[in-house]
Amino acid sequence: MSDATRQLYAQHLSLEQARTGDPRLPRQAGDHSTFLVSFLRIIGKGTYGKVYLVRNVTTNEAMALKRVDIPSSATHESNPRRASIPNSFSREVEMLTKLDHLSVVPYLGVDKMPTSLNIFFEYIPGGSIAGRLRKHGKLNEEVIKLFASQILDGLEYLHSKDIIHGRLDSNHILLNKSDICKISLCISSITDRDSTVNVPFLGHGSALCMAPEMLTYSVTSLSSKVDIWGIGYVVYEMWSGRKQWNEQGGQTIEFHAKQGSLVPADVHLSPLAEEFLQKCFAIDPNERSTATELRKHPYLVPERTWMLNGLR
């Protein structure tokens, strides 16, 4: 166990709480009280830190703690991307406090410490779609339609709040015990869609799933259409059961979209499914559909005889 982990295990973490003291409610800026947690285990790692499973000592509820390391001043010049985290902290946390939707992982609060930002979210016990695919392979098409509809519902909500996810893939879609999809957000993955996005912000996540404009360093601003490319990639993952185009990998979806082949030869799509994907993978973001438009796409209409009977 590292020193940082021991420190996390031992310390009491304070965070913003609702005036009622109920940790399940959205937090209001400026509301502070003591929130005691105990460390259980590490459940994930990312570019900027680790994700821990912790338990609320007061309520005995499990929570996910995303611990984002704050760089020291000595690292600012060597890693400007990490150095930008504290500057964007207040605005992004303020965005999180305003979110309340079934398809978005609920934000619980935050504690800003000298060396880290500790961001608390509701713990979603079912794991990610990526984990489901690794364990069980590609999904039933009717399940894919159900999941895609739920994700698009969440994206439509986020975009209505002027929030872009920016790194949407199957790792960032979690499933609860009822197999309801929930979009996972963190401080380095959201931005106001009308704001300027500097180059250091780009590059989170895998280039295999990124929208073309996120890989073009001449771009100074992004739109919500990067998430439409993202949902297309998530659907592709669920259809194929894999992230890579083939066993060799190394080629982006953009490369194949330009060649006119949206899925590998071993993935068979109906005309409606192919049309849905085309609306996600348009190279020009202005030609991609919105989340609202995709929610209404006829491909997502389930078969009349299909019943939700075991997604695994």
Per residue in 133-177, pLDDT (tens digit) is 999 999 999 999 999 999 999 999 999 998 888 889 899 999 999
pLDDT higher than 70, residue 97: yes
Amino acid 166: pLDDT: 85
Give percent of the chain above pLDDT 70: 62
Give percent of the chain above pLDDT 90: 38
Amino acid at 282: A
pLDDT, greater one: 190 or 36: 36
In this prediction, residue 125 has a pLDDT band, given cuts at 50, 70 and 90, of: very high
pLDDT higher than 90, residue 262: no
Integer Cα distance of 194 and 89 in angstroms: 17
pLDDT higher than 70, residue 60: yes
Cβ atoms within 10 Å, residue 12: 11
Cβ proximity of 23 and 108 under 8 Å: yes
Per domain, the residue ranges of the chain are: 11-122, 129-300
pLDDT higher than 80, residue 230: yes
Amino acid 94: pLDDT: 77
Integer Cα distance of 173 and 182 in angstroms: 6
Amino acid 146: pLDDT: 95
Most confident of the following: 10-14, 118-122, 304-308: 118-122
Amino acid 167: pLDDT: 85
Least confident of 67-76, 191-200, 222-231, 233-242: 191-200
Owner of token pair 């979690």: 174
- CATH number for 129-300 (one of 2.60.40.10, 3.60.110.10, 3.30.1050.10, 1.10.510.10): it is 1.10.510.10
Mean pLDDT of 284-307: 88
Mean pLDDT of 294-306: 85
Q: In the 8-state DSSP scheme, what is residue 191?
A: E
Mean pLDDT of 216-237: 83
Cβ atoms within 10 Å, residue 102: 13
pLDDT higher than 60, residue 23: no
Reference 231, options 284, 156, 306; nearest CA is 156
pLDDT, greater one: 107 or 304: 107
pLDDT higher than 50, residue 50: yes
- Domain covering 11-122 in this structure, CATH number: 3.30.200.20
In this prediction, residue 195 has a pLDDT band, given cuts at 50, 70 and 90, of: very low
Is 66 known to sit in a ligand binding site? yes
Integer Cα distance of 290 and 179 in angstroms: 25
